[in-house]
Amino acid sequence: MREPRNNRARLIATALACVGCVVGALAAPGAGAGEWRAVVAPAQATSTDPAALAGEVSALADRTATEWSQHQNAHGWFADPVLGRVIGDYGVSMTGESLVAAGVDTQDQTLIKAGLAAELSEVSHANNGGFELLSLSSAYAFDEAQLAGNPAWTSAQPRLARFLSGHGPPISDQVVCYASSHCYTNLKLVSAVAELALLQTGLSGDGAGALLSDASAVRSQTLAWLRMAVYNTGHDAYRAGAEAFSGVGILSDPSENPLAYHILSTLMLGKAIVALGSQTPPSLFAAFQRTAQALVGLLAPNGDDTYIGRGQGQVWTVAATVDALAIAGELTPDRTWRGFYLNSASVELHRLEQLYPSAGWGFPLVPRFAGRTSPSSYSGIDPYANTVEYNGLALWALDDAAVALEHSLAAPDQPLPSQGDGVFVDPSHTQFAAVTHGGLWFVVHTTNSNPGDARYGFGLLGAELDTADGWVPVIPPRPLTRSRTVGGLAMLSGGSTLYPVGRVTSASPSGAVTVTGGWEKGTKIVDGGTVWRFAPAASGAGVTLSFTSQPRSAYAFQVWYEPGARISRTAHGVNVREPDGSRQSYVVSSPATVSESVRDSSAYSANLHSIVLTVPASTGHHEITFTTFLSRAHLGPVSSTGQSGTSGASGATGLSSTTGATGSTGASGSTGASGDSGASGSSGASGSSGSSGASGSSGASGSSGSSGASGSSGASGDSGASGSSGDTGST
């Protein structure tokens, strides 16, 4: 097992001595197909013993880093499997440090030399960003501690020392925000941790502009950035129901607040505490505890924590979650919370191993690349992302997590809170509610924080069902879109398209989420008293959205599905049978038209098709309900609401129209919609309980389910994926 970095044990002891009173004050909790469908997590982690977990993490990092040595050129840079060319940025030096660590662990001098070559290649092509400074400072400290007397380090050390000794303040392409004392970005937090890591190298400054020439100024700047992070950390998120807690919060980049950057921010707060030791301000430790507890609260039952916004499904987010939770477990004296942190870290490690298996080229960047040695395109992935960069960040986080776990005490097992009934709510930052109700988990985004990107859209963004195989996603994660689409919901009025904007979010322990807000019309918000309500469907295997319509306004709902799915239309919606047999039924309380819409890509699917359901305008106010029914046909019925005569028939034309009932309100015919496994594709009327006039629905064969376009429709991320934007690319 590798040695701790930077006398970590001493720093942690002094940090805990400094802030133990703060920890004590925190309340403990109460008692082929798209890769999104392949996610299965165990009901409980296999091990929460921190020493054993550290060994698993370290071994995974060593194996993965070693693979990258096979894709390194003579100058120390690495080839990207998607772009087909050598690229480099801070991910190169982070992979280099991990290669050195693997060489130390295995006593392999070839790996050590490869790692040092990568670190020096970064020095030769520096961009002077925060992530780069963090990676090279961390690498230098590790190399100094582990490679004393090693000829390769003796040769490399002067160049790396000279670079760090003369390094000036980190730069960013977010020029305006980065320079403002009032604008928060995760890059400021990264730069704070980077400068603290630079101070820990023990080097002296070389030149008037060098950071190390004025250590007191460096410390003053880092504390100012950390105070800004503390100020921006939420404190109003909570979990109601089983394992209830409150007073926690999200820290991400305003105003979009993607969850991926809550993960990164939580990790960086923890790293800052480790670096500051006894000089940690109590407010910083309290903010870290709030973000770490929120991270536990927002984890889906299968471990997903990037279901809103950019960074969706990218491998670094899983590794960074492991690291953030490992540091939280190391720092907290509360045995109950330590159990939550360690168990959650173990679940995330399992997710990493399961969804991101190597095909000989390190971790796949996203789950849809798993098992492919040469993925064709970065479409559907943030344009700054690439495999080289984010493997480096993932490896750096895993190596750090192994050290934190080595220093963590054992704790009793604690399950993921989301695996028990209840709801986690963030009312102010990312603005979402994640509900567990029986065997159903779902998440609702209560605003639209980036109108051009469906991953930030309003409404139901994810759902999972508890099956014999574990918790399984049952709707596709939304794709990255390049222009505004309907998203979850839109109002069509007077020639304009209006989008819901939630202002106040509340939830009950039973799973009902209430959102109060208005409709965005240009720069205005109209109908400010609108109330949307999301609740588990009566069947228990679906989610119903309800609200009151405005006169002379139509309403559109957009849903996504895999190419090759069978689609059957009904008077009140559509039934979707995915290629693997998974099923979704989308049912509107009023008759609706159905039209095909855009095709885009996500981190999980290279090619998602979409359909828009539109409820025509009416003259008065009336309640509209839109229900998403969910099932995993090949795993058996999800609920006991079954309908007679549907279970054994063949699916010749896809799903039958058990929802084609007359237009009674609220998902009428809903008892059959979710449980139509294997339903006959004949007339659609068979066995549908109470569906008076359900005939003829099978006529809408899978016309919109053609496999059609390739996954290239979402703008390709190839341009700019070379990492030329430097550290800023990881934000």
Confidence of residue 482 (pLDDT cuts 50, 70, 90): confident
In this prediction, residue 38 carries a pLDDT of 57
> In this structure, are residues 659 and 684 in contact, taking their beta carbons and an 8 Å threshold?
no
- 387-406 vs 315-331: helix axis angle to the nearest 10? 20
In a domain, 289, yes or no: yes
Q: What is the pLDDT of residues 693-710, one digit of tens each?
A: 333 333 333 333 333 333
**Structurally, how many domains does the chain consist of?**
2
What is the residue range of 594's domain?
431-705
The CB-side HSE value for 62 (13 A sphere, CA atoms) comes to 18
- Give the residue-averaged pLDDT of 359-364: 94
End-of-domain residue from the set 419, 451, 468: 419
In this prediction, residue 539 carries a pLDDT of 78
Distance, CA of 568 to CA of 402 (rounded, Å)? 50
Q: What is the pLDDT of residues 483-532, one digit of tens each?
A: 888 888 999 999 999 999 999 999 998 899 999 999 999 889 999 999 99
Q: What is the pLDDT of residues 214-245, one digit of tens each?
A: 999 999 999 999 999 999 999 999 999 999 99
Confidence of residue 374 (pLDDT cuts 50, 70, 90): confident
Asked if residue 367 has pLDDT above 90, the reply is yes
**Average pLDDT along the chain:** 84
248 and 192 co-located in one domain:
yes
Confidence of residue 673 (pLDDT cuts 50, 70, 90): very low
Q: Which residues does residue 488 pair with via DSSP β-bridges, in sequence order? A: none
472 and 344 co-located in one domain:
no
Q: What is the pLDDT of residues 317-342, one digit of tens each?
A: 999 999 999 999 999 999 999 999 99
Sheet strand arrangement including 566-570: 566-570, 573-577, 582-588, 623-632, 542-548, 524-536, 513-521, 496-507, 490-493, 554-561, 609-615, 593-596
- CATH number of 555's domain: 2.70.98
Comparing 100 with 9, the larger pLDDT belongs to 100
In this prediction, residue 669 carries a pLDDT of 34
Q: What is the pLDDT of residues 89-147, one digit of tens each?
A: 899 999 999 999 999 999 999 999 999 999 999 999 999 999 999 999 999 999 999 99
Confidence of residue 48 (pLDDT cuts 50, 70, 90): confident
Confidence of residue 364 (pLDDT cuts 50, 70, 90): very high
In this prediction, residue 9 carries a pLDDT of 55
In this prediction, residue 184 carries a pLDDT of 92
In this prediction, residue 37 carries a pLDDT of 59
Residue closest to 416 by CA, chosen among 351, 347, 323: 347
449 and 400 co-located in one domain:
no
In this prediction, residue 625 carries a pLDDT of 96
Q: What is the pLDDT of residues 56-82, one digit of tens each?
A: 999 999 999 999 999 999 999 999 999
Q: What is the pLDDT of residues 256-305, one digit of tens each?
A: 999 999 999 999 999 999 999 999 999 999 999 999 999 999 999 999 99
Residues of the chain with pLDDT > 90, as a percent, come to 72
Taking the CA atoms of residue 476, residue 481, residue 484 and residue 487 in that order, the dihedral angle to the nearest 10 degrees is 0
406 and 554 co-located in one domain:
no
Asked if residue 683 has pLDDT above 60, the reply is no
Residues with Cβ within 8 Å of residue 235, at least 6 apart in sequence: 247, 248, 249, 290
495 and 399 co-located in one domain:
no
Burial class (CB in 10 A: 0-12, 13-18, 19+), 149: exposed
Distance, CA of 329 to CA of 404 (rounded, Å)? 8
> In this structure, are residues 28 and 336 in contact, taking their beta carbons and an 8 Å threshold?
yes
In this prediction, residue 170 carries a pLDDT of 94
In a domain, 714, yes or no: no
> In this structure, are residues 584 and 628 in contact, taking their beta carbons and an 8 Å threshold?
yes
- Give the residue-averaged pLDDT of 18-34: 44
In a domain, 424, yes or no: no
Residue closest to 499 by CA, chosen among 453, 435, 560, 442: 453
Confidence of residue 684 (pLDDT cuts 50, 70, 90): very low
Residue closest to 142 by CA, chosen among 320, 3, 327, 1: 3
Helix (H) or strand (E) holding 630: strand 623-632
490 and 450 co-located in one domain:
yes
In a domain, 712, yes or no: no
Asked if residue 616 has pLDDT above 80, the reply is yes
Q: How big is the chain, counted in residues? A: 731
479 and 593 co-located in one domain:
yes
End-of-domain residue from the set 375, 392, 419: 419
450 and 406 co-located in one domain:
no
Distance, CA of 601 to CA of 132 (rounded, Å)? 30
Mapping DSSP to helix (H, G, I), strand (E, B) and coil, where does residue 633 land? helix
Residue-by-residue DSSP string for 593-616: EEEE---BB-SS-S-BEEEEEEEP
- CATH number of 99's domain: 1.50.10.10
Confidence of residue 53 (pLDDT cuts 50, 70, 90): very high
Q: Which residues does residue 575 pair with via DSSP β-bridges, in sequence order? A: 568, 585
In a domain, 723, yes or no: no
Residues with Cβ within 8 Å of residue 182, at least 6 apart in sequence: none
167 and 106 co-located in one domain:
yes
- Give the residue-averaged pLDDT of 602-608: 95
Distance, CA of 89 to CA of 726 (rounded, Å)? 6
Q: What is the pLDDT of residues 177-204, one digit of tens each?
A: 888 888 999 999 999 999 999 999 999 9
End-of-domain residue from the set 419, 451, 477: 419
Residue closest to 499 by CA, chosen among 462, 475, 524: 524
Residue closest to 430 by CA, chosen among 292, 294, 286, 255: 255
Confidence of residue 624 (pLDDT cuts 50, 70, 90): very high
The CB-side HSE value for 470 (13 A sphere, CA atoms) comes to 18
Long-range contacts of 420-423 (CB under 8 A, 24+ apart): 420/241, 420/242, 420/243, 421/241, 421/242, 421/509, 421/511, 422/239, 422/240, 422/241, 422/242, 422/243, 422/244, 422/509, 423/239, 423/240, 423/241, 423/507, 423/508, 423/509, 423/511, 423/513
In the chain, how long is the greatest CA-to-CA distance?
A: 84
395 and 499 co-located in one domain:
no
In a domain, 163, yes or no: yes
369 and 485 co-located in one domain:
no
β-pairing verdict for 513-521 and 496-507: antiparallel
Say how far residue 639 (Cα) sits from the centre of its chain. Answer: 29
Q: What is the pLDDT of residues 413-435, one digit of tens each?
A: 899 999 999 999 999 999 999 99
In a domain, 318, yes or no: yes
Residues with Cβ within 8 Å of residue 233, at least 6 apart in sequence: 249, 250, 251, 287, 290, 291
Helix (H) or strand (E) holding 344: helix 335-355
413 and 456 co-located in one domain:
no
Burial class (CB in 10 A: 0-12, 13-18, 19+), 521: middle
| Intra-chain end-to-end CA distance of the chain, in Å | 32
Cα–Cα distances in angstroms (integers) from residue 275 to residues 198, 325, 326, 359, 535, in the given order: 10, 17, 15, 36, 45
Say how far residue 158 (Cα) sits from the centre of its chain. Answer: 40
In this prediction, residue 12 carries a pLDDT of 55
Confidence of residue 596 (pLDDT cuts 50, 70, 90): very high
In a domain, 320, yes or no: yes
